[in-house]
A and B are shown apart, each in its own frame.
Chain A
Amino acid sequence: MSWIKSREFAIGLASAVMVYMFLEYFFVLPKAAADLTSGLKNLAVVISAFAFVLAALNITLIHGRRVTRKDKGWIYSACLLGMFAIMLLIGIPFGTAQSQYMWIQRNVYTPTSAAVWGIMGFYYVAACYSVFRVRNVDAFILFASGLIVVLNNAPAIAAFWPQINAIAGWIQDVPGTSGIRGCYITVGVGLVALAIRVMMLIEKQFFVGGE
């Protein structure tokens, strides 16, 4: 059974799935093919679920080692392991819809997550400061267009100067959108090139390991 661990087997299996998915996307296939497609997609979900076990082991080993060695910041690792254990002990036997589990979710996880998002505003101000420094003509154009769009979103400015709506709208709709669409087209071409490289097995760095 050593062939199962070989690099060639992994590449062959991946290639077979790639060819099948390619055919399934472009060609009208019989009904049985649709079942096979959904089966493959389910298999991907199952494999992802297996990977969660690896991730849990990784977290436990890394943070467990940090706590036992009393490394810098070990108290945070201890908190993480504690929360991890609590969530597991409540979630596995009683399910994730259980009231205690939901209580932690609503009163611990959601507020902390929202707080992290809330901090972002301060970073935006710092980033604006560094981006909007006028050092050359390009930077001035960026600054001027950015300033108009920002002012347009302040209701008081739009009330005093209604024409700003049209100017900001033009900046967003004409130069902004055309630039973004140009990027989308080139990204699309790049994506096709990457897909072809992967399908032709020229780009295969993720087929690592093996014997």
Chain B
Amino acid sequence: MGVVSLLYIITQIGYIMTEIIVAGRVIELLYFIAFVLVTRYFIQRTKTGWMPSFRHIPALYAIDEIVGRAVEMGRPIHVAPGLGDLDPQSIVGFEIVRYTAENAAKKGAEIIATTRSTVQLPIIEDLVRTSFIGAGIPEAYKPENVRFIASDVSAYVTGVQSIIERENCAGNISVGQSSGYMFMLFARAKTVVGDVMQIGGTAKVLNTPHLVATCDYVLIGEELYAAQAYLTKEPELLATVAVQDMFKLAMMALLAIGLIVTAIGSDLITNILGW
């Protein structure tokens, strides 16, 4: 009797959920809730001293190398948060700009930050300015080194190429949205200017080969979204990266189950994912 009641309650809950949740998004919502709960749990665990281990991502550590190199050579560094506006990749790009600017301010390197987005401009200005204030040298902040180039991608890329070449940049860091034009930017810095150390990164998979061919270090796909955790090493952020890995394993398990179930002629998994 108890089991029947439980099944009835579950069915009723399922019915109510399909009434109030947009069709086709029930599983998405459950996935999201599960992600939040697991993240919350592991964040709590970090407060009791648990710390996930994480692998080395060379591209992120190379930022320090670029800044040090720029200081030694007495040349500026160009940094940009990609070609987007306020999309997720740009959020990561902002973190890279902030980290580079903080490092440059502390070590005494000149930084040139550019954007093609009018919406990004005030954010980048603030990030660079607050980095210099945080380093205790607000007078070293040069407003003219935070530049809006152009909204059009080809014009933006051409403008940044000229900055790297004319102002003799020692490093070029662009992490965020990318397109075929970004290949031209990195390729020109590599083949024409020559001694520019470059870090590229994008979650846009089809543009990743462009960066691999032209950059010294590359952030590939999901590495991008773990950038802040790796750079700040804050336990809360590292916990979310650990959860990210757990859900990747869950996805792989789901793929394997789906493969087996589909192979035996059932579309159960497909139907459930379509709820």
Interface residues of A (CB under 8 A from B): 25-28, 47-48, 51-52, 54-55, 58-59, 61-62, 65, 72-73, 76, 113, 116-117, 119-120, 123-124, 126-128, 130-131, 180, 183-187, 189-198, 200, 202-203, 205-206, 208-209
- A58 touching B222, Cβ below 8 Å: no
Q: B193 near A: Cβ within 8 Å?
A: no
Residues of A within 8 A of B40 (CB): 200
Q: Is B121 an interface residue (CB 8 A)?
A: yes
Q: Report yes or no: A51 in contact with B127, Cβ–Cβ below 8 A.
A: no
- Docked Cα-Cα span, A61 to B220, in Å, equals 36
Listed by A's residue number, 6 A-B pairs whose Cβ atoms lie within 8 Å are A28-B21, A48-B118, A187-B203, A190-B225, A191-B88, A206-B91
**Assembled-state Cα–Cα distance A123/B180 (Å):** 11
**Which residue numbers of B lie inside 8 Å of A, CB to CB?**
19-22, 25, 28-29, 31-32, 35-36, 39-40, 43, 85, 88, 91-92, 94-95, 98, 118-119, 121-123, 126-127, 130, 143-144, 146-148, 151-152, 154-155, 157-158, 162, 166, 180-181, 183-184, 187-188, 190-191, 203, 205-206, 208, 210, 212-214, 220-222, 224-226, 228, 234, 236-237, 240-241, 243-244, 247-248, 251
Do A51 and B122 have beta carbons less than 8 Å apart? yes
Residue of A55, A73, A130 touching B213 (CB-CB under 8 A): A130
Q: Are B20 and A54 in contact (CB under 8 A)?
A: no
**Given A26-B22, A28-B21, residue A205 in contact with residue B122 (CB < 8 A):** no
**B residues in contact with A52, CB < 8 Å:** 118
A residues near B92, Cβ cutoff 8 Å: 194
- In Å, the complex CA distance between A44 and B261 comes to 45
CB closest residue in chain B, given A208:
B126
Question: Interface of chain A, helix or strand or loop or mixed?
Answer: helix
Shortest C-beta distance, A70 to chain B (Å), equals 14
In the complex, the answer to whether A203 meets B237 with C-beta atoms within 8 Å is: yes
Inter-chain CB contacts under 8 Å: number = 170
Distance in angstroms between the alpha carbons of A126 and B224 in the assembled complex: 27
Taking CB atoms, residues of chain B closer than 8 Å to A193 are: 35, 39, 225-226, 240-241, 243-244, 247
Q: Is the Cβ of B36 less than 8 Å from the Cβ of A194?
A: no
In the assembly, what is the distance between CA of A52 and CA of B122, in Å? 11
Contact of B144 among A65, A128, A208 (CB under 8 A): A65
CA distance in complex: A60, B126 (Å): 19
Contact yes or no, A113 B191, CB < 8 A: no
Q: List the A side residues contacting B25 at CB < 8 Å.
A: 25-26
Q: Check if A55 sits within 8 Å of B162, measured CB to CB.
A: no
Q: Are B184 and A58 in contact (CB under 8 A)?
A: no
Assuming the contacts A194-B88, A206-B94, asked whether A59 and B191 have C-beta atoms less than 8 A apart, the reply is no
Q: Are A47 and B147 in contact (CB under 8 A)?
A: no
What is the minimal beta-carbon distance from A182 to any residue of chain B, in angstroms? 9
Say yes or no: A185 contacts B251, CB within 8 Å: yes
Shortest CB distance A26–B (Å): 5
Choice from B127, B183, B206 contacting A208 with Cβ under 8 Å: B127
What is the bound-complex CA distance between A119 and B123, given in angstroms? Answer: 32
Query: What chain A residues lie within 8 Å of B243 (beta carbons)?
Result: 193
**Interchain CB contact (< 8 A) of B155 among A113, A126, A187:** A113
Bound Cα distance A196, B242 (Å): 13
Closest residue to A199 on the B side, CB-wise? B36
Name which residue of chain B comes closest to A50, CB basis.
B118
A209-B130 in contact (CB<8A): yes
Determine how close the nearest CB of chain B comes to the CB of A103; give it in whole angstroms.
Answer: 18
Closest to A146 in B: B209
Given A27-B20, A113-B155, A194-B91, A189 contacting B187 (CB threshold 8 A): no
**Complex: how many Å from CA A194 to CA B223?**
11
**What's the least CB distance linking A176 to chain B, in Å?**
11
State whether A186 touches B240 (Cβ < 8 A): no
Which among B144, B206, B213, B237 is the interface contact of A197 at CB below 8 angstroms?
Answer: B237
Q: Cα distance A120–B205 when bound, in Å?
A: 20
Q: Which residues of B contact A205 (CB under 8 A)?
A: 91, 94-95, 98, 127, 228
**A187-B221, A205-B127, A208-B130 given as contacts; is B240 within 8 A of A197 (CB)?**
yes
Contact A120 B28 (CB under 8 A): no
Given A124-B183, A183-B222, A197-B237, 6 more pairs with CB closer than 8 A: A55-B121, A117-B181, A127-B210, A130-B213, A193-B247, A196-B240
Q: Are the CB atoms of B222 and A186 closer together than 8 Å?
A: yes
Residue of A nearest to B254 (CB): A185
Instruction: Provide the residues of chain A in CB contact with B248, threshold 8 Å.
Output: 185-186, 189
Q: Which chain A residues lie closer than 8 Å to B126 at the CB level?
A: 208-209
